[in-house]
Chain A
Amino acid sequence: MSAHRAPARPAPRRHGGSRLRGPLLYLVASLGLLVMAAPFLWMALSAFKTKKDLTASPPVWIPSEWTLSNFDALLDQLDMSRYFLNSLIVAGLVTICNLLFCSMLGYALAKLNFAGRSKVFALVLAALMVPGNLMILPLYVLMNRLGLIDTYAGLVLPFAAGAFGVFLMRQFMQSVPDELLEAARIDGASEWFIFWRIVMPLVKPALATLTIFTFLSSWNNFIWPLIATNDPDKYTLPVALATFANDPNRTVGGGNGMLMAGSLLVVLPVLVVFVALQRHFTQGIATAGMK
């Protein structure tokens, strides 16, 4: 399959060693793939199963009869397009904010020698380590006072600049050669210019990574949107899905199919983002920096 071809250069590598190595690697990778992807496949296949297959014991992998009834039931019970849109707006905004803010601070921490840098970095690390579970109650009280419950702002702002992202960008920006920046500075470029026009294009793989991670975690974020929205019109996808079929006593059996169908719908956009962005992993710093 020509699933991917490196855009700039035709794959130049020659596998050294024996001719067996290539096929052997594929064999290993395929086996690993099987182990890794099996539960995902299970989820995807289960979404198309009838009740009979879902409850069969021992479990069946391939549906004996394919059905869309799980999706029908789901769309029937939930206003999926609205939840989808809400999720897209929230995850989109969170991702954009993170790309910008985290890169900015990451750049400052990696490449700008300013007084207080180590203190800011320590703060970022500390923010990274705070166990989040318990913060929710005071945060809710605060957001309620600010009138941000049931608003997009209330869903986006607490996650608009994540410490993980800052740390990630800092690590990647460290590998940008200092000489590049010095040269630009000598030429009189502003720090913003250096950041935006020189460093950012060089760390595309990192930006792609950050986009994938941020989008995924925001898209799947569950507890906060659950607490911070009371109006079903503002529910995000995972919250909406959780409102049904998760009665611990009743999730068994038929509910599972709908849950799997819902999960599949939730997961697909994340996979699209991943597939779209992973190609940036082949445009390395060396190539980009030396045009």
Chain B
Amino acid sequence: MSPTTGPAADGAATVEARRPRPPRAPAARSVPRRPRRHGVGRQNLAGWLFSTPFLVLFGLFMLFPIVATLLMSFTDFGARNVTRPLEAEFVGLDNYVKLFEDDKFLTALSNTAYFVVVGVPLTILLGLLVALLLNNGIDRARTFFRVGFYAPVVTTIVAAAVVWRFVLDPADGLVAGVASALGVTAPDFLGSETWAMPSLIAMAVWRNLGTVMVLFIAGLQAVPAEVREAARLDGASPWQELRRITVPLLRPTMLYATVITTIGYLNVFEEPFVMTQGGPSDSTLTVSLDMYREGFNFFHMGYASAMAYVLFVVIMGITVLQLRLLKDNTR
């Protein structure tokens, strides 16, 4: 029997108290121990060395496009500037001013907000539930269930669109069928301004649940079984165990899942693109879709770049807020 399965009333403490086998580094052995402040210098150097590969790649391949797009947002960059970028005229903040007078953009902004505010909590909550279910409740055929719940993530959007249209079809769709069996009329989901957005949110939750689930399952491995066992021996109910032990220990994962889901949803593009094209009457037009149209259909690259940066600022604000609220504990 491995020692981890033994009864461990003070499980949490043991994990931290016990040490791993000392590293076998003969050369390091002979080095005399140094005072702590040298450790700081060492960490400084190591920190930067560990950061180098990322920073180099980022500097080479990301920074230029980012700066170029930022510059574009202050110009009237259009089709003719594709081959003559320097002829684009500097227009200052015109694009940004115009954006906030553009009804379409404001609609897109509020649609996106709707999508995020409803979609993110749903995704995180359901993802957590599924992860708990598959991690604790299900022992048999666990792989099978995990693959099944992850399937939407890998399903091609084209196939997903086909099936979702079939599900939501007002005439002979799945939901309509169930509704009529119950004696109610299902709305024309994608054709109605009220229902189109909730339908897309449902689809997005469905598509992203698997990702969040994987994160939480991986995160749950960091919660030592002993701790939970101990809590249970102390007579904690499953609910108390969840609230007092599991969720607090999952905080770093929760933060990550929330932040990436929010960023992903703020950039939402594929669902409206394949399902509604932003309609009916712009009720599902999102910022990314609007940006895509302005940039690539109408070729207002300058204007679209300004949109990208407004979106960037919004995302940044929200992320910083989330880091604060979920108490990122780096510092």
Complex: A in contact with B (CB within 8 Å): yes
**A: which residues have CB within 8 A of B?**
1, 3-4, 8-9, 11-13, 15-17, 21-22, 25-26, 28-29, 32-33, 35-40, 42-43, 46, 58-59, 100-102, 104-105, 107-110, 112-118, 120-121, 123-139, 142, 157-158, 160-161, 163-164, 166-168, 171-172, 174-175, 177, 179-180, 183-195, 197-198, 205-206, 208-209, 212-213, 216, 256, 259-260, 263, 266-267, 270-271, 274-275, 278-279, 281-287, 289-291
Q: Given known contacts A121-B330, A131-B267, A278-B146, is B154 in contact with A287 (CB within 8 Å)?
A: no
Judging by beta carbons under 8 Å apart, are B147 and A1 in contact?
A: no
Are A4 and B156 touching (Cβ within 8 A)?
A: no
Name the one of A120, A131, A188, A213 contacting B308, with C-beta atoms under 8 angstroms.
A131
Given A134-B72, A174-B330: 5 more A-B contacts, CB < 8 Å: A17-B238, A134-B301, A188-B29, A281-B218, A287-B4
The size of the chain B interface, using a CB distance under 8 A, is 120
Chain B contact residues, majority secondary structure: helix
The A-contacting residues of B in range 121-160, CB under 8 angstroms, are 130, 133-134, 136-156, 158-160
Looking at the complex, which one of B47, B223, B263 makes contact with A108 (CB distance below 8 Å)?
B47
Asked if B92 is at the interface (CB within 8 A of a chain A CB), the reply is: no
- B215's nearest neighbour on chain A, judged by CB, is A209
Contacts of A286 in B (CB 8 A): 4, 15, 224-226
Q: Do A274 and B144 form a contact, CB below 8 Å, given A108-B50, A282-B221?
A: no
Q: B153 and A216: CB pair below 8 A?
A: yes
Q: Evaluate contact between A131 and B25: CB separation under 8 angstroms.
A: no
Whether A274 pairs with B147 at a CB distance below 8 angstroms is yes
Given A25-B133, A121-B330, CB of A43 within 8 Å of CB of B4: no
- C-alpha spacing A198/B134, complex, angstroms: 29
Q: How many whole Å from A207's CB to the nearest CB in chain B?
A: 9
B172 touches A58 (CB 8 A): yes
Determine the distance from Cα of A142 to Cα of B255 in the docked complex, in whole angstroms: 35
**Residues of chain B lying within 8 A (CB to CB) of residue A29:** 133-134, 137-138, 145
User: Among the listed stretches B99-107, B178-186, B187-195, B204-212, which one makes contact with chain A, having 4 or more residues with CB under 8 Å of it?
Assistant: B204-212
Residues of B within 8 Å of A25, CB to CB, are 133, 137-138
A197 touches B23 (CB 8 A): yes
| Shortest distance between the CB of B184 and any CB in chain A (Å) | 20
> A129-B319, A130-B66, A131-B308 are known contacts. Are A281 and B2 too (CB-CB below 8 A)?
no
Chain A residue nearest to B47 in the complex (CB)? A114
Residues of A within 8 A of B61 (CB): 139, 142, 157-158
Number of A-B contacts (CB under 8 A): 335
- The answer on a CB contact under 8 Å between B47 and A112 is yes
Residues on B with C-beta less than 8 A from A290 are 3-4, 15, 18, 20
Interface residue SS majority, chain A:
helix
**Which residues between 210 and 238 of chain B lie within 8 Å of chain A, taking CB atoms?**
210-211, 214-215, 217-219, 221-226, 232, 238
Among the listed A110, A115, A259, which residue makes an inter-chain contact with B158, where contact means beta carbons less than 8 Å apart? A259
A285 lies within 8 A of B224 (CB): yes
Residues A42 and B159 in contact in the complex (CB < 8 Å), given A4-B142, A191-B46: yes
Cα A15 to Cα B138 in complex, Å, equals: 10
Q: Answer whether residue B316 sits at the interface, using C-beta atoms and an 8 A cutoff.
A: yes
Asked whether B25 lies within 8 Å of A167 as measured between CB atoms, the reply is no
How far is B63's CA from A25's CA once the two chains are assembled, in angstroms?
49
A44 to chain B, nearest CB (A): 9
| A281 B221 Cβ-Cβ under 8 A | yes
